């Protein structure tokens, strides 16, 4: 067998051995983490955990009310629903110019009443 023929068979053999070693290492790693993944999946499927996750998802979908109640309707401080913005109202800021400010329903009503009253 010549040198060229030996080189032609060495490379595939080395690649096959490297592939086998990578496969063994991956299998061992997966076997090592499988109990942790199973435990997390079991905890996540509990009704009380699902409930907490659903509530957190609801809170993340909510928009905060950015009314600055004490300045825009000082007579009605404390009516704000801080995480229930339902509309936006334009506001002129010296720094940012015209911006839309999210407001909850009680703050929007108090601001409208104050603007209407003059």
pLDDT band at 21 (very low <50, low <70, confident <90, very high): very high
Sign of CA dihedral 15, 18, 23, 26: negative
pTM for the full predicted model: 0.47
Cα separation, 88 vs 5, in Å, equals 77
pLDDT band at 19 (very low <50, low <70, confident <90, very high): very high
pLDDT band at 4 (very low <50, low <70, confident <90, very high): low
First to last CA, the chain: 103
Question: What stretches of 28-109 adopt beta strand conformation (E)?
Answer: 85-93, 97-104
């Amino acid at each position: 067998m010549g040198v060229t023929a030996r080189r032609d068979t060495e490379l595939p053999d080395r690649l096959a051995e490297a592939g086998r070693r990578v496969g063994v290492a991956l299998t061992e790693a997966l076997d090592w983490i499988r109990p942790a993944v199973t435990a997390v999946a079991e905890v996540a499927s509990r009704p009380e955990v699902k409930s907490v996750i659903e509530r957190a998802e609801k809170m993340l979908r909510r928009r905060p009310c950015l009314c600055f109640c004490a300045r825009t309707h000082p007579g009605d401080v404390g009516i704000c629903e801080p995480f229930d913005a339902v509309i936006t109202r334009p506001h002129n800021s010296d720094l940012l110019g015209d911006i839309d400010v999210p407001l909850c329903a009680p703050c929007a009503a108090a601001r409208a009443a104050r603007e209407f009253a003059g």
